[in-house]
């Protein structure tokens, strides 16, 4: 075995053991500052078989993200380098990752989301799974897409989003990595099993503190890292 191969396997072991910590309790705020993977999408370091096998890790930047804003109820903001959350005026941030590079027969063993807060606040934020189809080019405070509105403006209905927390993080400025809850892991598993179930998450307005994270148009795309096994 070459020294390069040894180093690669040690890196894989570090990523799998050191980065996927214990699952947080429902709503617990994640405060780790390190994330899985090394910048590439699809099969990452820790998946030496090109995306297949035991102990795989894959990382993804957001495919879609935008701010929905109560001040512009029929127009979303998908080109802003910042995705905003606020309670007054109300704004929420929609995020979606394409996880189709992971085999549909994979079993999720852990996951984390890393965000870069570029405009901080004193509040904590709780992402929820979106269950109503939305399109980045068409979603707004009132509408999920051109043919369907949110059941309640701002995607506030339980038919728009699951009330359980997928991940949580503090709003202070800086890079934050949150370990997904059991609800979050179930959501990622469903997204892998069927792309039609993948409508991402919403970080809803929670109080009057404004907070902004870097979007895919900004310097740091929100990143989802998934560890999984395949038969």
Q: In sequence order, which residues have a C-beta less than 8 Å from that of residue 64 and are 6 or more positions away?
A: 78, 94, 95, 96, 135, 136, 200
Q: What is the mean pLDDT of residues 30-35?
A: 34
Please name the residue ranges forming H helices in 43-88: none
Would you say residue 44 has pLDDT above 70? Answer: no
Would you say residue 23 has pLDDT above 90? Answer: no
Q: 131-189 pLDDT, tens per residue?
A: 999 999 999 999 999 999 999 999 999 999 999 999 999 999 999 999 999 999 999 99
The whole-number pLDDT of residue 231 equals: 85
User: Tokens standing for 103?
Assistant: 């085999």
Domain extents for the chain?
Answer: 3-229
Q: What is the mean pLDDT of residues 119-124?
A: 94
With residue 10 as reference, give the H or E element that holds it.
helix 3-19
The whole-number pLDDT of residue 42 equals: 40
| Contact (CB, 8 A) for 189 and 151 | no
Name the burial class of residue 146, with classes exposed (0-12), middle (13-18) and buried (19+) by CB atoms within 10 angstroms of its CB: exposed
Q: 56-112 pLDDT, tens per residue?
A: 999 999 999 999 999 999 999 889 999 999 999 999 999 999 999 999 999 999 999
Would you say residue 30 has pLDDT above 70? Answer: no
Higher-pLDDT residue of 86 and 24 is 86
Buried b (16+ CB within 10 A) or exposed e, 19-32: bbeeebeeebbbeb
The confidence band for 47, taking pLDDT boundaries of 50, 70 and 90, is low
Q: 204-215 pLDDT, tens per residue?
A: 987 778 999 999
Q: How far apart are CA 174 and CA 120, in angstroms?
A: 8
Helices and strands of the chain, counted as H and E runs? 2, 14
The whole-number pLDDT of residue 54 equals: 60
Give the residue among 92, 7, 78, 30 at the shortest CA–CA distance from 225: 30
Give the residue among 213, 221, 207 at the shortest CA–CA distance from 93: 213
SS3 state of residue 186:
helix
Would you say residue 26 has pLDDT above 60? Answer: no
């Amino acid at each position: 075995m070459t020294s390069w191969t040894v180093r690669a396997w040690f890196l894989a072991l570090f990523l799998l053991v050191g980065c996927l910590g214990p699952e947080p309790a429902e709503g617990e705020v994640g405060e780790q500052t390190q994330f899985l993977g090394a910048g590439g999408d699809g099969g990452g370091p820790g998946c030496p078989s090109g995306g297949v096998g035991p102990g795989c890790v894959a990382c993804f930047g957001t495919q879609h993200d935008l701010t929905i804003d109560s001040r512009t109820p029929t127009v979303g903001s998908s080109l802003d380098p910042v995705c905003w959350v606020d309670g007054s005026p109300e704004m929420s941030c929609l995020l979606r990752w394409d996880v189709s590079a992971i085999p549909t027969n994979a079993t999720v063993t852990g996951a984390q989301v890393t965000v870069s807060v570029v405009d901080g606040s004193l509040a904590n934020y709780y992402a929820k799974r979106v269950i109503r189809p939305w399109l980045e080019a068409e979603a707004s405070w009132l509408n999920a897409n051109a043919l369907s509105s949110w059941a309640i403006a701002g995607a506030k209905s339980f038919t728009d989003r699951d009330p359980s927390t997928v991940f949580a993080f503090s709003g202070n400025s800086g890079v934050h990595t949150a370990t997904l809850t059991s609800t979050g892991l179930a959501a990622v598993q469903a997204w892998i099993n069927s792309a039609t179930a993948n409508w991402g998450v919403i970080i809803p307005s929670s109080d009057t503190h404004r907070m902004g994270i870097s979007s895919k148009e900004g310097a740091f795309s929100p990143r989802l890292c998934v560890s999984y096994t395949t038969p």
